[in-house]
Amino acid sequence: MTDFLIVGRGLAAAVLAHTFFKQKISFKIIGSVHLSSSSLVAAGIFNPIVFKRLTKSWLADKTIPFLNTFYTECENRSGEKFITQRNIIKPFSEEQEKQLWLKKSKNELADFLDGNIYANPENKYKGCLLPPEFGLVKQAGNLDIRTFLKSTEKIFDADILSEEFDHSGLQIEADKVLYKGIEAKNIIFCEGHVVKNNPFFGWIPLKPVKGEVLTIRSNDLVLHNSILNKNGYLMGLGNNTYLTGATYNWEDLSETPTDNGAQELKQKLTQLITGDYKVIEHKAGVRPASLDRRPIVGSHPNYKNLFVFNGLGTKGVMLAPYFANNFVNFYSQKEVLNKEIDLKRFYHLYKGVG
Ligand SMILES: Cc1cc2nc3c(=O)[nH]c(=O)nc-3n(C[C@H](O)[C@H](O)[C@H](O)COP(=O)(O)OP(=O)(O)OC[C@H]3O[C@@H](n4cnc5c(N)ncnc54)[C@H](O)[C@@H]3O)c2cc1C
């Protein structure tokens, strides 16, 4: 009997699979890529800084080193490359902002803010709209999530069933679950925002956010490996193509790209670059954000062998490896589940259905 059935085909499912593999916990994955595309659309950026308040992102001092080790191990396992270290260029709009940056770069944010103030010497960042001075965030970068998912599929190919999971076919017993002839001790659902259709976990309080991104082509830009961030971001993808994002929409939760979204992104581009460009792709997805902006991980209030791993929101790349490890250690009784992610905090919302 296998230890876990993983339901899902996005970042959460893939990160869990690698974590189980490392800890010698057996698993099978049942997933379809067609129900939710957040992971396929995301830029995959990890950024230790919250720019709005110039503070450290939640647990960044733990999640950033953890993700670097984790994804590097996955790269070694697959022989493919999907993680890139990049500086984030943060233009200053006023003197006060620069002074606060300098102060924090010497104190609580020393690990993450470069203490130098930069100009754009000899137009190093050609075609980018930069003010006279800007700062650089360290320990940032991005995961090419599509390549990570593809390589994960290759590694675990024999244990993946490419299909939609039919919840009505799940038989739950005290010490195991059965699904289409597969016996597993446990099942864990990593369904992103479509968890709303899950009869066992549809009640978990997500506050999903639709996001749109544009891929553009421009021959006039030089950004090197950096990410330019100014009320939106621009990141090089190679071959003169760049990704720009992202929008936030809490009302329209379809995964269809919209004209309004494209207009908003083009408006953002007017603040990021000077030259001409051609739009070559426009994509949308729905981020599985939670009500309190923390992941939602843990077991069902009634069925101890049913688990959920969700609520990765806008920061799946940073949060998933650290909390998949926390979950697996919790399952192996090596550590407790972090209280801030534990589904128990929402048990009071459970009305006994499913
Ligand atoms: C525009 C945009 C930009 C983003 N940028 C970033 C970023 O820069 N950095 C970052 O860290 N995060 C970013 N995110 C967020 C990131 O995408 C998410 O945190 C993360 O990918 C969520 O992964 P997930 O696996 O939980 O969900 P999903 O990606 O939604 O994956 C769920 C998977 O499960 C499958 N599935 C669901 N139900 C079933 C079922 N019943 N049977 C079979 N399969 C099923 C779905 O088809 C899907 O493949 C962005 C998101 C968007 C939309």
Q: Whose CA is nearest to atom 34 of ligand 1?
A: 8
Which tens digit of pLDDT belongs to each residue from 12-59? 999 999 999 999 999 999 999 999 999 999 999 999 999 999 999 999
Which tens digit of pLDDT belongs to each residue from 126-148? 999 998 899 999 999 999 999 99
Same domain, 299 and 189: yes
Same domain, 126 and 254: no
Q: Does the C-beta of 287 come closer than 6 Å to ligand 1?
A: yes
Q: Does the C-beta of 245 come closer than 6 Å to ligand 1?
A: yes
Which tens digit of pLDDT belongs to each residue from 257-294? 999 999 999 999 999 999 899 999 999 999 999 999 99
List the domain range (segments joined by +) for residue 120: 46-57+78-143
Number of domains forming the structure of the chain:
3
Confidence of residue 149 (pLDDT cuts 50, 70, 90): very high
Which tens digit of pLDDT belongs to each residue from 193-208? 999 999 999 999 999 9
Q: Does the C-beta of 247 come closer than 6 Å to ligand 1?
A: no
Q: How high is the pLDDT of residue 93?
A: 87
- Indicate whether 266 belongs to any domain: yes
Same domain, 50 and 129: yes
Same domain, 174 and 302: yes
Same domain, 196 and 123: no
Q: pTM of the entire structure?
A: 0.97
**Cα 346 from Cα 204, distance rounded (Å):** 7
- Indicate whether 232 belongs to any domain: yes
- The minimum-distance atom of ligand 1 relative to the CA of 165 is 42
288 Cα–ligand 1 center, Å:
7
- Indicate whether 313 belongs to any domain: yes
- The minimum-distance atom of ligand 1 relative to the CA of 310 is 26
Question: What is the mean predicted confidence (pLDDT) over 319-341?
Answer: 97
- Indicate whether 71 belongs to any domain: no
Q: How high is the pLDDT of residue 123?
A: 79
Same domain, 191 and 320: yes
Q: Does the C-beta of 283 come closer than 6 Å to ligand 1?
A: no
Q: How high is the pLDDT of residue 85?
A: 98
Q: How high is the pLDDT of residue 353?
A: 61
Q: Does the C-beta of 32 come closer than 6 Å to ligand 1?
A: yes
Q: How high is the pLDDT of residue 8?
A: 98
